[in-house]
Amino acid sequence: MNLRFLLNCLLLLLVPAISSASPKQDIAIRGGTVHTMAKQADGSWAEPIQNGVVLIRDGKISAVGTDASVEIPDGTRVIEAAVVTPGLIDSRSVVGLAGWLNYDHDQDQLERSAPMQPELDARDAYNVREPLIKWVRSLGVTTLHTGHAPGQLISGQTFIVKTRGDNVDQAVLKPDGMVVCTLGSSGFGNDGKSPGTRAKQMAMLRQEFIKAQTYLDKLAAAETDEEKDPPARDLRKEVLAKVLNRELPLMITAHGSVDIQNVLRLQQELGIRVVLEGASECYDFIEELKQQNISVIIHPTMMRASGKGKNASMETAAKLVAAGIQVAMGSGYESYVPKTRVVLWEAAIACAYGCSFADALGLITASSAELLGISDRVGSLEVGKDGDIALYDGDPFEYTTHCIGTIIEGVVVSDQTR
């Protein structure tokens, strides 16, 4: 009996890997309503297709149109749904590093031994078999921008993955994401460790970037002068140098007005690419954010309006969209179980508080893909893009609607009704 129990447990652990390794198929998705989330020439959203078809061949979308205009080849698997959308994108997550059990052994999202750790690579901590990945996948999430959590001044890096794969290399969509920074009280050190104030945070950041610039200068000098030796490799400086060279964005979690002002000032001083994350009080800085071309990954709409988020507003996403600021929505980071929110439901609330349906869905599909630099692969249902699709039995923003299937690159990775 004990042996049988152990074998059953082993089988359950293997199920996600087996399903994610299924062969690609030619699939035709028939939808009562197909939200392609494509953009028209004037920048507006394309109208949904009624009685639409999305054809997937070799993992890529090969045709999109009405049932009457798309010919479905013989032998193609046909799947039907009331509503079809692109696979959802969570633009800020810790899933895969933070586990659902909330025990030390599955909590790799935050290293607390030092305040400054840009060299930490999220790929080294990502667990493709984490049950939270399977959970969000079953609700239509096909892409995660995941990595180290806020909580240290610079806590590490992020990367972008598909919510499938038997190992991290199979899952990766984009290996280099962003460098994670936290301003405000959430980034203060514990037990008297630095930084303990906002002024100390900013001083430490500036000093590290000065060191990184000196490192770059020495590298450049060694390239032009054979008598000069290049500096010894330094992982920390290498990562920050990529930020200075605008190869990687600095994603700064900041909620309060003082901290957002510091974000704006730092971006002006260094001329780096900045993505503001969280941003509970960013509605007071819309013009400044637009002028400095700073993108925003807005806090989950239903985050707890207390502490750092005490002034969060459910209308913020709509205000940012209306202002023409590049904005996406992420699940953020919850310190309590289950460590993640479901972006579908968060976007639904944004829709109820000022966003149009298309703009709200864009926050977790096309707009998110554009912000993350992956719109050539995902975010909309267009010919040549990955066959990543979410299927629903009704309006995806209605509470009573279920996700009835998820497809990644032409593979049905979930067919449970959620």
Q: Is 373 helix (H, G, I), strand (E, B) or coil?
A: coil
The CATH number for 141's domain is 3.20.20.140
The CATH number for 406's domain is 2.30.40.10
Q: What is the pLDDT of residues 94-132, one digit of tens each?
A: 999 999 888 888 999 999 999 999 999 999 999 999 999
Output DSSP code: residue 79: E
Percent of the chain with pLDDT over 90: 88
Q: What is the pLDDT of residues 230-256, one digit of tens each?
A: 999 999 999 999 999 999 999 999 999
| Statement to judge: residues 134 and 63 lie in one domain | no
CB-CB neighbours of 124 under 10 Å: 11
Q: Is residue 392 assigned to a domain?
A: no
Q: Any alpha helices (H) in 225-315, and if so which ranges?
A: 235-244, 257-270, 286-291
The C-alpha atoms of residue 262 and residue 282 are separated, in whole angstroms, by 12
Instruction: Calculate Rg over the CA atoms of the chain.
Output: 22
User: Is residue 363 a contact partner of residue 347, using CB atoms and an 8 Å limit?
Assistant: yes
Q: What is the pLDDT of residues 305-322, one digit of tens each?
A: 888 899 999 999 999 999
What is the pLDDT at residue 23? 65
Q: Is residue 228 assigned to a domain?
A: yes
Percent of the chain with pLDDT over 70: 94
**Alpha-carbon dihedral angle through residues 309, 310, 315, 320, given to the nearest 10 degrees:** -50
| Statement to judge: residues 8 and 34 lie in one domain | yes
* Nearby residues of 293 by Cβ (< 8 Å), 6 or more positions away: none
Domain count, the chain: 2
What is the pLDDT at residue 338? 80
Is the pLDDT at 2 greater than 50, yes or no? no
| Statement to judge: residues 317 and 225 lie in one domain | yes
What is the pLDDT at residue 25? 78
| Statement to judge: residues 330 and 364 lie in one domain | yes
> What domain range is 277 assigned to?
88-378
| Statement to judge: residues 128 and 190 lie in one domain | yes
* Residue 4, burial from CB neighbour count under 10 angstroms (0-12, 13-18, 19+): exposed
The C-alpha atoms of residue 223 and residue 259 are separated, in whole angstroms, by 39
Q: Is residue 395 assigned to a domain?
A: no
Q: What is the pLDDT of residues 60-96, one digit of tens each?
A: 999 999 999 999 999 999 999 999 999 999 999 999 9
Q: Any alpha helices (H) in 51-114, and if so which ranges?
A: none
Average pLDDT of the chain is 93
Encode 17-32: b = buried (16+ Cβ within 10 Å), e = exposed: eebbeeeebbbbbbbb
| Statement to judge: residues 42 and 191 lie in one domain | no
What is the pLDDT at residue 336? 81
DSSP per residue, 35-53: ---PBPTTSPBPPPEEEEE
CB-CB neighbours of 230 under 10 Å: 12
| Statement to judge: residues 82 and 92 lie in one domain | no
